Amino acid sequence: MAVLMMMQASFAEDASDTLHIQIKEKVIYCSAELSVKNSVFKLPMQDGIAVATEWHVKIGKVRQYWLNESIGNITVMRRVEPDLLTHSWLLVDVSSGISQRVYSIDDAIVFLSVLKHFPVLDRSLLLTNVPYRAAVNVNIHVGAINPAWWASLWPTTAASMRKDFTLP
């Protein structure tokens, strides 16, 4: 319970999360970084508790007098499973199933808190000179993820970022 209260206090203090949109020839990429304190991730992992971040990336067409039109939604789930016996951390990208073992807790924290050059959308789905908005919401899960239906009623959103862009 104390860990959860500490986590909520840490989220409120950090407001410098960053979101960048890269527009390439065929694909729109997203780079995002959480600025939560390292202790939010470090303390549970040092105690052998798994930590996961759930990244919800949404791209929408901005409308002035109506709800934004949704173009695409992607959810990326990353989990770190500590192994106290070997002092290593298993990095698992749940979306792709790819895993990697690292021996530095700082590498594990970067894996959880940074989404770098992630392909989000095919550029052909967007029109030029039309305003779009990229929104990223990040949830942090400490321990087991509750799959119950009521868990979605109280999400643990750590950060919300958004960025407006247009195609040149």
pLDDT in tens, 90-120: 999 998 899 999 999 999 999 999 999 999 9
In which band, very low, low, confident or very high, does the pLDDT at 153 lie, cut at 50, 70 and 90?
Answer: low
Residue 4 pLDDT > 50, yes or no? no
The residues, any chain, with a CB within 8 Å of residue 108's CB and separated by 6 or more, are: 41, 45, 80, 82, 89, 91, 102
Which pTM was predicted? 0.80
Higher pLDDT, 67 or 162: 162
Choose among 69, 44, 65, 70: nearest CA to 140. 44
Number of domains in the chain: 1
Instruction: For 24-75, write each residue's pLDDT tens digit.
Output: 989 999 999 988 777 888 999 999 999 999 999 999 999 888 887 889 999 9
Residue 63 sits in which domain range?
Answer: 2-165
CA dihedral 97, 100, 101, 104 (to 10 degrees): -120
Which alpha helices (DSSP H) does 80-129 contain, by range?
105-113
CA dihedral 78, 83, 87, 89 (to 10 degrees): -10
